[in-house]
């Protein structure tokens, strides 16, 4: 990674090779795939319990946290963009400020989530409308994990900053620590000590806190002098602060639309029974792993685009587009073939309940289609984020949500859960197409 980064800095205007791109992207892919492992491992562990409501309870609890945290997901995305641009322009002060500013926001919102935990929980249960058994287990899971909210949001900033700095191996080490610890503690608390759903929640909480402490130690060790030299007036400089607020606002609205789609998707599944809800939860975990794999390439392209814009290097900017498209499409082919060959085996890793497995098997075709319709939208979001032009991302998601709502209205009454998944695939396709239409305007804005 160090070699690839140095090469990029020395001759950034030259054509970046596939090898250099992969050296940057592969650790990001591994780090990205490790992110949904928290939910995937939790789902797989409770899937070994005899009651399908345990899967539903963890799925609902995880949905609540995903909703809360995804609303603040802009902390990671915007931090990467601003940091990579500061690196491209070789602005050391702004490089540090791009880390410290969002940390303050992360801690503030994390504390707000803890204070408002009861209203959040009651509102979520009202909107989702799951069964009493599922709701009780989801409440147990939520009441434990909520205490990690500030740490989780701070970790978003840390990971985003490390990625923007090109320190992808350190970002990977932080996330791997969290996920390996989570797996070990899941096994101990659930299978060893018999804590059930509560054990799953405690395992996730402890692993999240541990990862933040590890990441904070790394960053302080490497940037101690610069951090200690910061002054309050630097943090409150109007122009860069307002630019961060604008980008974060647009990414927040984008996330609201994404969560509206996910919430409607989950609620429709929950209304069709616990088995359908559980099967959808399993397939969503598979989908998340695919999406985060694509996100690894998107993050690599985000770094390159941010540095290209910071340095005014249009050739590197164009090369990032090409490499992102090529490797995204190759990945889509590989993932689709993997589902065709091993889809049923993968589902069986998540649950041993036959009714849930059979329902999931009938839906695997959507996991084959998703990589082809969804990869380009995910890649482009990374590129637009690196350019810190989030308004285009916001507009494309709003339009895609409209397509999703129309599809739900048209197809669910006749096709039931298959109609839910068809609507999801149409949303993913729209996301790719609408954002693609904004690419020429992005180029004009940044390289006029």
SS3 253: helix
Quick one: average pLDDT of 65-72? 78
Residue 160 lies in a domain: yes
pLDDT band at 237 (very low <50, low <70, confident <90, very high): low
Residue 334 lies in a domain: yes
Q: Is residue 420 over pLDDT 80?
A: yes
User: What is the spatial distance between Cα 303 and Cα 75, in angstroms, rounded to a whole number?
Assistant: 16
Q: 352, 318 in Cβ contact below 8 A?
A: no
Task: Give the per-residue pLDDT at 308.
Answer: 87
Half-sphere exposure of 66 toward its Cβ, with a 13 Å CA cutoff? Answer: 22
User: What is the spatial distance between Cα 278 and Cα 12, in angstroms, rounded to a whole number?
Assistant: 48
Residue 104 lies in a domain: yes
pLDDT in tens, 369-379: 999 999 999 99
Of 127 and 368, the structure prediction assigns the larger pLDDT to 368
Which parts of 242-328 are beta strand (E)?
Answer: none
Give a three-class secondary structure readout of 34-54. HCCHHHHHHHHHHCCCCCHHH
Residue 222 lies in a domain: yes
The pTM for the full model equals 0.77
pLDDT band at 8 (very low <50, low <70, confident <90, very high): very low
SS3 231: coil
Nearest 5 degrees, angle CA 340-CA 346-CA 352?
130
CA 188 vs CA 41, 138, 175, 184, 195: distances in Å: 13, 20, 20, 6, 9
Quick one: average pLDDT of 173-201? 83
User: What is the spatial distance between Cα 327 and Cα 371, in angstroms, rounded to a whole number?
Assistant: 12
Q: Is residue 37 over pLDDT 70?
A: no
User: What is the spatial distance between Cα 207 and Cα 289, in angstroms, rounded to a whole number?
Assistant: 19
pLDDT in tens, 261-294: 988 898 888 888 888 888 898 898 888 888 888 8
Backbone angles phi, psi at 228, to 5 degrees: -70, -25
Which of 203, 163, 154 has its CA nearest to residue 46? 203
Task: Give the per-residue pLDDT at 432.
Answer: 94
Q: Is residue 196 over pLDDT 50?
A: yes
Which of 246, 319, 326, 257 has its CA nearest to residue 78? 246
Contacts of 225 by beta carbon, 8 Å cutoff, 6+ apart:
none
- Supply the range of the domain harboring residue 70: 14-446
CA 179 vs CA 30, 182, 253, 421: distances in Å: 11, 5, 29, 29
Quick one: average pLDDT of 398-422? 93
The secondary structure of 315-384 as a DSSP string is HHHHHHHHHHHHHHHHHHHHHHHHHHHHHHHHHHHH---HHHHHHHHTTHHHHHHHHHHHHHHHHHHHHH
Of 411 and 134, the structure prediction assigns the larger pLDDT to 411
Of 56 and 251, the structure prediction assigns the larger pLDDT to 251
Which of 344, 369, 358, 384 has its CA nearest to residue 424? 369
Residue 7 lies in a domain: no
pLDDT band at 76 (very low <50, low <70, confident <90, very high): confident
Residue burial 60-87, b: 16+ Cβ < 10 Å; e: rest? bbbbbbbbbbbbbbbbbbbbbbbbbbbb
Task: Give the per-residue pLDDT at 371.
Answer: 95
For 96, the enclosing helix (H) or strand (E) is: helix 92-115
Residue 214 lies in a domain: yes
Q: Is residue 102 over pLDDT 90?
A: no
Quick one: average pLDDT of 55-76? 78
Task: Give the per-residue pLDDT at 407.
Answer: 95
Task: Give the per-residue pLDDT at 9.
Answer: 47
How much of the chain exceeds pLDDT 90, in percent? 25
Task: Give the per-residue pLDDT at 125.
Answer: 77
Q: Is residue 33 over pLDDT 80?
A: no
Residue 2 lies in a domain: no
Q: Is residue 120 over pLDDT 60?
A: yes
SS3 300: helix
pLDDT band at 23 (very low <50, low <70, confident <90, very high): confident
- With tokens 């993932």, the residue in question is 335
Q: Is residue 335 over pLDDT 80?
A: yes
Q: How many Cβ atoms are within 10 Å of 448's Cβ, its own excluded? A: 5
Task: Give the per-residue pLDDT at 309.
Answer: 87
Q: What is the number of domains present in the chain?
A: 1
User: What is the spatial distance between Cα 163 and Cα 65, in angstroms, rounded to a whole number?
Assistant: 23
DSSP state of 11: S
Residue 8 lies in a domain: no
């Amino acid at each position: 990674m160090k070699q690839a980064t140095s090469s990029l800095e020395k001759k950034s205007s030259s054509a970046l090779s596939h090898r250099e791109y992969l050296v940057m992207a592969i650790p990001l892919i591994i780090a990205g795939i490790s992110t949904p492992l928290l939910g995937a491992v939790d789902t797989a562990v409770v899937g070994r319990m005899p009651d399908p409501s345990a899967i539903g309870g963890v799925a609902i609890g995880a949905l609540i946290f995903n909703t809360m945290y995804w609303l603040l997901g802009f902390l990671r995305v915007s931090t990467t963009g601003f940091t990579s641009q500061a690196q491209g322009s070789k602005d050391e002060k702004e490089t540090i400020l791009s880390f410290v500013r969002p940390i303050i926001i992360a801690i503030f919102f994390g504390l707000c989530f803890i204070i408002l935990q009861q209203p959040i929980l009651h509102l979520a249960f009202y909107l989702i409308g799951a069964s009493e058994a599922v709701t009780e287990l989801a409440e147990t899971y939520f009441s434990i994990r909520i205490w990690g909210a500030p740490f989780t949001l701070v970790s978003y900033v840390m990971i985003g900053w490390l990625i923007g700095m090109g320190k992808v191996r350190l970002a990977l080490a932080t996330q791997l620590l969290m996920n390996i610890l989570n797996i070990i503690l899941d096994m101990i608390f659930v299978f060893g000590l018999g804590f059930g759903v509560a054990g799953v929640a405690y395992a996730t909480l402890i692993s999240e806190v541990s990862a933040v402490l590890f990441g904070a130690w790394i960053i302080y060790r490497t940037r101690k002098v610069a951090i200690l030299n910061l002054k309050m007036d630097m943090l409150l400089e109007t122009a860069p602060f307002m630019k961060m607020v604008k980008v974060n606002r647009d990414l927040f609205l984008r996330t609201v639309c994404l969560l509206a789609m996910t919430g409607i998707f989950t609620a429709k599944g929950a209304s069709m029974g616990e088995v359908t809800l559980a099967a959808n939860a399993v397939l969503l975990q598979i989908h998340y792993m695919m999406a985060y794999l694509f996100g690894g390439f998107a993050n690599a392209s985000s770094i390159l685009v941010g540095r290209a814009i910071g340095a005014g290097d249009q050739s590197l900017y164009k090369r990032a587009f090409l490499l992102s498209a090529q490797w995204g499409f190759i990945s889509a082919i590989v993932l689709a073939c993997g589902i065709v060959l091993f889809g049923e085996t993968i589902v069986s890793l998540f649950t041993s309940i036959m009714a849930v497995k059979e329902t999931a098997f009938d839906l695997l075709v959507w996991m084959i289609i998703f990589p082809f319709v969804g990869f380009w939208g995910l890649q482009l979001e990374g590129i637009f984020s690196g350019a810190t032009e989030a308004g285009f991302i916001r507009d494309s998601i709003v339009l895609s949500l409209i397509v999703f709502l129309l599809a739900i209205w048209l197809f669910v009454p006749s096709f039931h859960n298959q109609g839910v998944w068809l609507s999801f695939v149409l949303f993913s396709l729209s996301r790719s197409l609408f954002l693609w239409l904004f690419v020429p305007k992005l180029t004009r804005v940044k390289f006029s």
